[in-house]
Every structure is written in C-alpha cells, then in structure tokens.
Amino acid sequence: MNVLLKYNPPVFYGFVGYKNLGDESIWEASSSLFSELNLMLYKKPRIKLSRYLMKQKVKSCAILGGGTLIGANKADGSNSFRDDFQIISNNAKFNVVFGTGVGALAEDVPEWLRAWKPIIENCGYVGVRGPRSQVRLKKIGIESEVLGDTACQWVGQLVKSARNKKKLGINIGATEGLITAQGFNNYVNFLRQRIQEKWDLIFFVINPDDLALTERMISCLGITAEIRTACEKTTSYLSSLEDIDYFIGTRLHSVILAMTKPIPSLMLGYADKAHDFMESVEMESLCVDINTVSLDQLNEVFSYLTKNNNQQQLFDAMVHYRELQRTQAKNIIRQIGRL
C-alpha cells in the first residue's frame, strides 16, 4: 500500500474506485483543491497487518471527503466508513471533514451518530455538504460550516441560453430497492408526456449498475433513445451535457454536475442527501421525492423549472461554494504547514 511507504502522508478517504461518477468527481476536485499536499487516496487493505500499520503510522493530515460518509450502521451493527476513517485519522497531525454529508436520523440522536462524535471532535476543521448535515452534527455538540458539495468545484463559465431547443437530459439510478415501482412508473408516465410535447430525451448513465434500469425505462417508453455513459471521467460527463437544455435525475451527482454547467435541473431524489444539497443552494422547490411525488406535482414542478430560467442563480450558488472551498482548503494547508 503506497500510503504506508511515504513519510507523513496526507491521506484522503472517500468512496472512490467503484466507477460511481459522483465519488470520482469529488476525489478529482479534492485532489486539485489540495494539490500542494499531493493527497494520497486511502484504499482499504485486505491484510489486517496493513490496517494495523496504517493506524500506527504518523500522517500529516487525514481528510474525510465528500459523499454521505457520516452515516448509520449496517443491520449487523458495523460501520465501515467510520472504522476506516478512525484508522487513517489515528496519529494524523490534522484531521478534516470536507464537504461530507451526514445521514438522515431515524431518532433524535441515534447511537451511530454518538459513535462518530469522538472522531469528528478530533478534526481541526469540519465542513459539511448542507444545512441538514449541519443541524445533525449540532445535536451531538459539534459546530460545522456548510461548505457545499465538493463537486461545485466543476462550475465553468456562465453562458446564458434561451433553453428553447427542448433537449431534456434524463438520469435514472440508485442502489437497489431505493426507487419503488410506483416511483419508477410515475417517472415513465412523466416522460411519456414530455415525448408528446416533442421533447428530445437523452439518457445519462453515471454508474454501471444503472444501465439496465435505464434500458428498462426506454423499453417502457417504447422509443429509441441515445444513452450517454460516463462513470469515471468527470470531464467526459460534462462534455456530454453541452447540448442539453434542461436536466432531471435521481443520482445526486448527475444533477449537481449538470447544475455546474449551469443547466436548469430538477432533482428527483430518492434519499435525504438530495434535499440536503438542494437546500444548500436554496433550490429546495426543485427537489422532489421520486417515491412520494404524484404525477401532477411532478408536472407542476417541471413547468416551473422551464418557465423560470434560473441559470444566473445556479451559477452564483455554485461559484459561492467553489470559492468558499478554495478559501478553506488554503487555510487548512497553511495550518498543516505550521505543524
């Protein structure tokens, strides 16, 4: 393991290496933000001795990256994210939470959140994805800053468009079981109406596991449609969005990255993390739950989206977090340099 071979390594921990574009985009952005440190990516070793050595090794810093990594235990009581970060943050001179999300709470202060407290308390800086994450950490006495999703680093130039070519980017995907049959059917019926209105549908896959679901959706619609796939290279995905006028998706980062273009987008979320992010950019009205929203409500929100070109608001929100993250990354680098 390369991290073990380096003196005082700066270590980044995120859910990276699984061909999920959202996590890859966060890692690329973080690597650029902390380029002066030459971050090393932690990959969980299979050998127990390697894990023991990593825990004992002195590191210049340990960064908990994006994603909803501060989350609940599994059914068997284990929590691999917490266990892994505890290993790499041990004996680190400076620990950081940078843009990470905190999972939804089934009770006021669950035991899994209490178990995170001593780890996060040991961090010199805590920046979270959105306001919901901030409130949850406050329940265990931890103050944090809303830093936004690290993928906001991908925001480009603002090129205003009339958005009247009616090209609609579509994403459908989630971990198995998170999208109900009713939610899927409502999405299909919504798209049938867009086809009747002469919208040109382009489908986007950012996780290999979602291809089958995408093909199933296209089959249900009875159409021939283009599928654009980008699971590892953020620049490839962003380039594939160039001709898209509006976007609607279930995968969190399919939407976040579309918003960096900035393409007016509707978040058809299946989990709390979607609301956490959309509240951070003050666009909660454009976030609906795929499993509870009615077809009429979905049509209403889409109509609002297309009648109100919010490119400037999108751009301003993304730039705000891009600059805040750059400022805090520089502050963190300075503090590490003093140690």
Backbone dihedral angles phi then psi of residue 204, each to the nearest 5 degrees: -125, 130
Dmax (CA) of the chain: 63
Please check whether residues 40 and 121 belong to one and the same domain. Answer: yes
Please check whether residue 160 lies inside any domain of the structure. Answer: no
β-pair partners for 192: none
148 neighbors 132 (Cβ within 8 angstroms): no
What six digits make up the tokens of 199?
């919208």
Query: Per-residue confidence at 321, pLDDT binned at 50, 70, 90?
Result: very high
161 domain residue, yes or no: no
| CATH number of the domain encompassing residue 296 | 3.40.50.2000
Q: What is the pLDDT of residue 45?
A: 82
Residues 134 and 185 in one domain: no
15 shares its domain with 148: yes
Looking at the fold, whether 290 and 327 belong to one and the same domain comes out as: no
Verify that 228 and 131 share a domain, yes or no: no
What's the chain's average pLDDT?
95
The answer to whether residue 273 sits within a structural domain is yes
Q: Which pLDDT belongs to residue 163?
A: 60
Domains of the chain: total:
2
From the DSSP assignment, how many helices (H) and strands (E) are in the chain?
A: 13, 12
Q: Is residue 158 part of a domain?
A: no
What is the DSSP secondary structure assignment for residue 64, as one 8-state letter?
E
Asked if 282 and 329 sit in the same domain, the reply is no
Give tens-digit pLDDT for 95-106.
999 999 999 999
Question: Are residue 214 and residue 331 in the same domain, yes or no?
Answer: no
Asked, for residue 227, whether it belongs to a domain, the answer is yes
Give the pairing of strands 61-64 and 125-128: unpaired
As a whole number of angstroms, the distance between CA 133 and CA 131 comes to 5
Residue 164: the pLDDT is 65
| Same domain flag for 106 and 232 | no
Same domain (yes/no): 132, 193: no
DSSP code, position 70? B
Domain contains 314? no
Task: Quick: pLDDT tens for 202-259.
Answer: 999 999 999 999 999 999 999 999 999 999 999 999 999 999 999 999 999 999 999 9
User: Does 159 map to a domain?
Assistant: no
CATH label of the domain that carries residue 7: 3.40.50
Residue 225 near residue 203 (C-beta atoms within 8 A) = yes
Question: Does 246 lie in the same domain as 138?
Answer: no
Average pLDDT over residues 34-51: 90
Ramachandran angles phi, psi of 331, nearest 5°: -60, -40
Helix (H) or strand (E) holding 168: strand 167-170
Range of the domain at 295: 167-308
162: in domain: no
More confident site: 259 or 164: 259
* Claim to verify: residue 119 and residue 215 sit in the same structural domain: no
- Residue 239: both structure tokens together: 């380039």
Q: Does residue 334 sit in the same domain as residue 269?
A: no
